[in-house]
Every structure is written in C-alpha cells, then in structure tokens.
C-alpha cells in the first residue's frame, strides 16, 4: 500500500505583503481556522464538425482562454490583523499576496504569488462567544506559481 503524502490544513497559508521595497509577507492571525485556494480556468467550449462527413456528430473542443485564482480564509478575529485588512479594503488597495502550501521536498508544496484585491470581509459575533472573521480575495494581475524547494 502507498499512502497519500497528506498535508495538515494549517499548512495552507495566506500571506499579505506590506508594500515596502523589500516586501515582507505576513500570515495575519485572523485567518487561523480555514483556508481555501480556488484555481479557475476561463474555458472556450465548442463543437467541431467532421468536414468529410457533415452528417456525423461534431466533436467537442475546449481551450483555456485565461487563468485566475481566488482564496478565502476564516477564523477567530484578531484585532490588529483584522484592522490592517479592513484598512486595505477601505483604501481599495491592490496588495501583493502569497498562498503557500507550506511543505517541501518529497511532500511537494508550492507558493503562488501575485497582486490581489479584497473582495469581501465579514466580521460576526454572538453574545458570549468570540468574534469571527472571514476574507475573500481575488487575483488582480499576473501571478507566479513555484514549487517549494
């Protein structure tokens, strides 16, 4: 038997850049419970006829027109990091981000880097419980994906 080289959920990190010349990326504590990375393709779908036999069924063709990504993160709200992300949203800033599958070597792992916009932030709370935080971000330009060493 050969088991999957599984990776713990907390090893998927969303880090936000500080915008400085020598940019530093920070995993804000408000994204401390769940993270999701969505990789999407904008696809053309069509049908190509058989030129030799026009009565024959056409065959499907698909081509990728574009690639994009988005990510979501949730957790218990951490005041300082929630404030930093709310301020970035309020300033309508495009900021750099990294999504990291934080493993390497035989376990694989990758780092996706590129500019993002904050699509939404949700804060919530129930009396007597901790306040929750969630964020949705989306690609806002060119991005790179590199295998972790």
pLDDT over 90 at 123, yes or no: yes
Q: Catalogue the E-assigned strands of 56-143.
A: 59-76, 95-101, 110-124, 132-139
pLDDT of residue 2: 87
Say what the pTM is. Answer: 0.87
Q: What's the CA dihedral at 116, 121, 36, 99 to 10 degrees?
A: 30
- pLDDT per residue as tens digits for the range 124-149: 999 999 999 999 999 999 999 999 98
Residue 49 domain flag: no
Residue 26 domain flag: yes
Q: What six digits make up the tokens of 5?
A: 């080289």
Show the domain range for 133. Answer: 9-42+68-147
Total domain count for the chain? 1
Give the model's confidence band at 69: pLDDT under 50 very low, under 70 low, under 90 confident, else very high.
very high
Mean pLDDT of the chain: 95
């Amino acid at each position: 038997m050969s088991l999957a080289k599984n990776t713990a959920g907390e090893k998927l990190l969303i880090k936000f850049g500080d915008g400085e010349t020598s940019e530093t990326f920070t995993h804000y504590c408000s994204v401390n419970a769940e993270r999701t990375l969505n990789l999407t393709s904008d696809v053309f779908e069509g049908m190509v006829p058989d030129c030799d036999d026009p009565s024959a069924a056409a065959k499907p063709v698909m081509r990728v027109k574009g690639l994009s990504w988005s990510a979501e993160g949730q957790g218990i709200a951490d005041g300082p990091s929630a404030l930093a992300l709310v301020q970035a949203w309020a300033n309508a800033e495009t900021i750099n981000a990294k999504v990291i599958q934080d493993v390497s070597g035989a376990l694989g792992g990758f780092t996706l880097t590129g500019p993002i916009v904050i699509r939404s932030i949700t804060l919530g709370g129930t009396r007597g419980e901790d306040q929750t935080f969630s964020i949705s971000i989306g690609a806002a330009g060119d991005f790179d994906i590199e295998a972790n060493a």
